[in-house]
Structure 1
């Protein structure tokens, strides 16, 4: 099953030739470019089997490892991801620091180590994907979102180390803009499924500021001990963040009933 997301090159012609050679090849055409996630959504809806494998068509992922990923799902995993941690991984050096920072942030918020956050080679149960399909985006962040949604909800996600070939052509990733977008996406996704993971660290930081400011006001200021406006505002901010976290957690728990 191939989804052509409105490609403007010779992709459509090549797919027609492949269909003539392989009659079982099912091709779905998007009239316009709708985005990476939109192409996956179309493919998931059209897929007829209970285990789905996704990969890119640019030759960067080792398709000969697909059977391993499928076997992990057959053995009980909800999702098996080809983690680009092998000996021959061709990711531009300029993108590696940002990817590592995003991976560590996501690992902390999800509460588990994530070797590869947005690998495009993975096998998964169709019912898992369909359960989260309404919240999955149409853009490049599709795989990141489904990874975080699965991990924060306790699904079993296995990782298989793979190589990653050099990509030909120009990437559509915009380093600064997309990195900031991924940070927002990670926080928003974890906030949706496990809000306390986001609110508690912020509340803890504010509490430290409140205690430090209180100590300064009471013991280090030469005038009579008195709480400053700054300390009061920090205390109010701490109470508000803590309260919002608890309310968000209650809403999350109620929505799961």
Structure 2
């Protein structure tokens, strides 16, 4: 098993959320079992109607089945709760991720990181539209967190289980668990690293719809920004309202020497938005109290 921090040997759990991914699992599972014979490999079957759970059993892999499709994020949460390892590796079951890259993620974790994400190279995205969308999401999330995010939506990552479990209640049941978990780790001050990978062509049909899920990702990023870094969201809005009100007041004063109701409304809106941001910042800090205490205990034990 991979040795981390030079002294501690940690058990590894590899979690594959899967819905109708028999085509990808047929070749992926034998490779994982051969390369990591001692790892806790788990397929979380999210209401599949094909041979996904049968293939898992045939390859001597643990399988946990949802009675109906609950979403990719729900499958990730189920796998996290059932995992036996100290280190959790999440990867897609469609064959896009190379099992050999797991060693690279674990090696990077050995440098002191709590989460390592496999960052897909731009030319390996399925389409030009997805490349542009991911560039936009990465940039927006980088602004929200204050850290450079190279691949916000990559489902291939290695994390410390004790930290990841603390944020399970924040993860949505849909396709945005990578977004939420990445921003939660950054907001908590837990070190995150990226390792460049090349994603292969998926086997089978994708469950992600670009327009529908793209809009969802955008809304989720805004919601996460309000939850994790409220002032990065509310302060620019407040400043924009204030500058607009000031400009409008200057215009009305020059034209009619009046202070109008619209100017008053814009100034009040700017003040209220700023105050909401301050309150939200205090509420946001409460989400990470447990993570901070856990980090202090870990440092004392080391």
User: Quick check: TM above 0.5?
Assistant: yes
2:88 is paired with a residue whose SS is strand
Task: Tell me what 2:283 maps to.
Answer: 251
Change (3 A) 1:254 1:97: closer
Provide runs of 4+ in structure 1 moved above 4 Å. 254-257
Matched, 1:33 2:69: yes
Aligned partners of 2:52, 2:221: CA distance in 1, in Å? 33
Task: Tell me what 1:72 maps to.
Answer: 108
Aligned partners of 2:287, 2:158: CA distance in 1, in Å? 28
Gaps of 5+ in 2: 1-41, 290-302
Give 1:256 deviation, angstroms: 5.2
Query: RMSD in angstroms over aligned alpha carbons?
Result: 1.6
1:136-179 deviations in Å (ceiling 9; x for gaps): 11111111110111112221100000001112332222222212
Aligned partners of 1:249, 1:236: CA distance in 2, in Å? 20
1:135-174 aligned within 5 A: 135-174=170-209
Bigger RCO of structures 1 and 2 (CA < 8 A, at least 6 apart): 1
Task: Tell me what 1:22 maps to.
Answer: none
Give 1:191 deviation, angstroms: 1.3
Task: Tell me what 1:7 maps to.
Answer: 48
Aligned partners of 2:252, 2:124: CA distance in 1, in Å? 55
Aligned partners of 1:34, 1:256: CA distance in 2, in Å? 27
Given that residues 152 and 190 in structure 1 are in contact (C-alpha distance below 8 angstroms), is that contact kept between their aligned partners in structure 2? Answer: no
Aligned partners of 1:36, 1:184: CA distance in 2, in Å? 18
**Number of residue-to-residue matches in the alignment:** 248
Aligned partners of 1:11, 1:193: CA distance in 2, in Å? 36
Aligned partners of 1:255, 1:121: CA distance in 2, in Å? 25
Task: Tell me what 2:139 maps to.
Answer: 104
TM-score, scaled to structure 1: 0.91
Aligned partners of 2:197, 2:204: CA distance in 1, in Å? 22
Matched, 1:235 2:267: yes
1:166-205 aligned within 5 A: 166-205=201-240
Task: Tell me what 1:226 maps to.
Answer: 258
Change (3 A) 1:142 1:256: closer
